Amino acid sequence: MATLNLDLGSRSYPIYIDTGLLETSSLFETHIRGKRVCVVTNDVVAPLYLDKLKSQLTSFNVDEVILPDGEAEKSLANFEKIMTHLLANEHGRDTSLIALGGGVIGDITGFAAACYQRGIDFIQVPTTVLSQVDSSVGGKTAVNHPLGKNMIGAFYQPKAVIIDIDTLKTLPEREFNAGIAEVIKYGILGDKSFFEWLETHIEDIKANDEKILTYMIQKCCQCKADIVAADETESGVRALLNLGHTFGHAIEAEQGYGKWLHGEAVATGMVLAAKLAVAMDLIEVSDLCRIEKLLKAFDLPLVAPENMGFDEFIKHMKRDKKNIAGQLRFIVPTAIGQSEMRSDIMQETLQQIL
């Protein structure tokens, strides 16, 4: 079992990566301090893994909240549903929540944990590539609003992240590929050698090779853990993890949450960020081509929706959390394996890209 540690002083926590972890009761017992547990999951994951998880929690009084599947369900209405369940079932401050699912479940469960009785414990059990390599680590929790993605939330860290890569065997191919966009992001923004490793292991990744997936997930989690430990609340270097997200979140909000998967929108967003970098003479066209080729190998979209031009993008990007005093800021690559935040983007350049 690979074990990493996210170093945040008294709020540090482990990240476990291996096969068969959903059947390892000792891991859960170590990180649950009370006797009550509420599992939050969705109606796709529950039939696959809820009973398996509950069979490891026989020492606890366990109930569950099962939400509908999909990005559109990361809503205030479902946040309220979790709150109502916890209150109606008299859960106290010694309750632990367990987020069993992908990024949507992890985000909304973490936000519920942050808010219920001003903060209770929670554990992340991510079941998708995207959540295993990115969203389960780092303590960003949120729900969406029709006017903006992840605009209502909190920084709130879990007690542990338990990654069972066996859960990827039941993941649909489209969801698997969408998660790989976030994997590729780590190579572009800060690790050239990892980007090159991905270029040479495309078929192994697609074949769900356990050793390859374990290495890939561990590499991404370590990168994120290092960045979060240095900048927990995104006042500096952590913003680099938003490569592709300024454009991507605009696509998701404009098209309607769930029409494009998050990873698909981020993939297109990274292409647009790279095109912006080419226009600013920060990277070569050859770098853009390598990025596009790797994304295309996983059937990820490279072109923004036909119904989105400059005006449609800009209305959403004006609400981006990285903006300061109304100034748009973008994460752009300066090489394969390097990126930076820039606020000197000319409107004419943006219009040319979009």
Q: Report residue 148's pLDDT band, with 50, 70 and 90 as the boundaries.
A: confident
Domain that holds residue 82: 2-170
Residues 17, 87: one domain?
A: yes
Report the pLDDT value the prediction gives residue 25, as an integer from 0 to 100.
93
The residue among 145, 143, 125, 154 whose CA lies nearest residue 18 is 125
Share of the chain above pLDDT 90, in %: 93
The pLDDT tens digits for 226-275 are 999 999 998 889 999 999 999 999 999 999 988 999 999 999 999 999 99
Q: Report residue 147's pLDDT band, with 50, 70 and 90 as the boundaries.
A: confident
Q: Could you tell me which residues come within 8 angstroms of residue 32 by beta carbon, excluding any fewer than 6 positions away?
A: 57, 60, 96, 121, 123, 159
Q: pLDDT averaged over the chain?
A: 96
Residues 61, 183: one domain?
A: no
Residue 247, classed as helix, strand or coil, is helix
The pLDDT tens digits for 292-344 are 999 999 999 999 999 999 999 999 998 888 888 778 899 999 999 999 999 89
The residue among 55, 59, 63 whose CA lies nearest residue 24 is 55
Residues 149, 190: one domain?
A: no
User: Quick check: 288 and 295 in contact, CB under 8 A?
Assistant: no
Point out the domain boundary residue: 170, 193, 224: 170
Residues 154, 204: one domain?
A: no
Domain count, the chain: 2
Point out the domain boundary residue: 170, 197, 220: 170
Q: Report residue 89's pLDDT band, with 50, 70 and 90 as the boundaries.
A: very high
Q: Which residues are catalytic?
A: 118, 140, 182, 224, 234, 238, 242, 245, 249, 262
* Residue found by looking up tokens 């967003």 in the block: 269
Q: Report residue 8's pLDDT band, with 50, 70 and 90 as the boundaries.
A: very high
Residues 150, 197: one domain?
A: no
Residues 228, 316: one domain?
A: yes
CATH of the domain at 215: 1.20.1090.10
Q: Report residue 140's pLDDT band, with 50, 70 and 90 as the boundaries.
A: very high
Distance, C-alpha 352 to centroid of its chain: 29
Residues 142, 199: one domain?
A: no
CATH of the domain at 106: 3.40.50.1970
Residues 163, 187: one domain?
A: no
The pLDDT tens digits for 157-214 are 999 999 999 999 999 999 999 999 999 999 999 999 999 999 999 999 999 999 999 9
Computed on alpha carbons and rounded to an integer, the radius of gyration of the chain in Å comes to 20
Point out the domain boundary residue: 145, 170, 195: 170
pLDDT tops 90 at residue 21: yes
Residues 13, 31: one domain?
A: yes
Residues 203, 335: one domain?
A: yes
User: Quick check: 15 and 3 in contact, CB under 8 A?
Assistant: yes
Residues 110, 162: one domain?
A: yes
CB atoms within 10 A of CB 233: 10
Residues 307, 287: one domain?
A: yes
